[in-house]
Amino acid sequence: MKRLFFILLTLVSVSAFAQQKTERPLVQFSGVVLNADSTSIVPYVSITNVSFKKQINLSNYKGYFSFVAHEKDTLIFTSIGYASTTVVIPEHVSDKSYTLQVRLHSQSIHLPVVRVFPWATTDEFHKDFLSMKIADDDLEIARKNLSGKSIASLERTLPLNAQDHQTLNFQDMHNNIVNQHSLMPNPLLNPFAWAALIKEISDGNKSRGVSDSN
């Protein structure tokens, strides 16, 4: 029993010693990630240690990173919009510290062209296209705006400008000068006006007769 225990103890010691001999030295790996095209920083880059359980580290918003790794570890730097870069930590690093500027090259991804149509089928598109009302060109719009009907409609809606007011004033002054020595007829002394008034009153349209007499 003692011999068996001694053998087991020897095997455990040899295994621990061998593991200690094969374990690689630790290294404080630090650095900054830059854009290789513009030397600007690349923030939040994923750093995967494929040599040690695929451990993942992340650079900060300034592109800086610092973590513990081993000598000869292989690390992959990845970021969206950039090609991945592989870095291998060398052996026999002095002061157990390794600093590096990692540069990532921007990567353009060409996506296939996607055409979006509001019609489910080609037949629906042809139907809508044939029934579509085409807008007037500049010449047709000018022709409609300069037509007599359009100008008459604008005259009824647009206010008078300064020239219109001046024309009306000159016309009023001209009428006053022409009629200044003439006697203006009094509608109350016109028998035809009285006959029309009596007829309208007899027809029951009193309101209109009063307004006309005024």
Q: Which residue ranges form the domains of the chain, and what is each CATH number?
A: 24-135 (2.60.40.1120)
pLDDT attached to residue 115:
79
User: How big is the CA angle at 77 (ends 87 and 39), to the nearest 5 degrees?
Assistant: 95
pLDDT attached to residue 18:
42
pLDDT attached to residue 14:
44
pLDDT attached to residue 170:
84
| Distances, alpha carbon 206 to alpha carbons 190, 193, 211, in Å | 19, 15, 9
pTM above 0.75, yes or no: no
pLDDT attached to residue 165:
80
Q: Are 41 and 62 in contact (CB under 8 A)?
A: yes
Q: Quote the tokens at residue 190.
A: 């016109």
pLDDT tens sequence for the chain (214 residues): 556 555 555 555 545 444 444 578 999 999 999 999 888 999 999 999 999 989 999 999 999 999 999 999 999 999 999 999 999 999 988 889 999 999 999 988 888 888 777 878 888 888 888 888 777 788 888 888 888 888 888 777 778 778 878 888 888 888 788 777 666 666 666 777 777 778 777 776 544 444 444 4
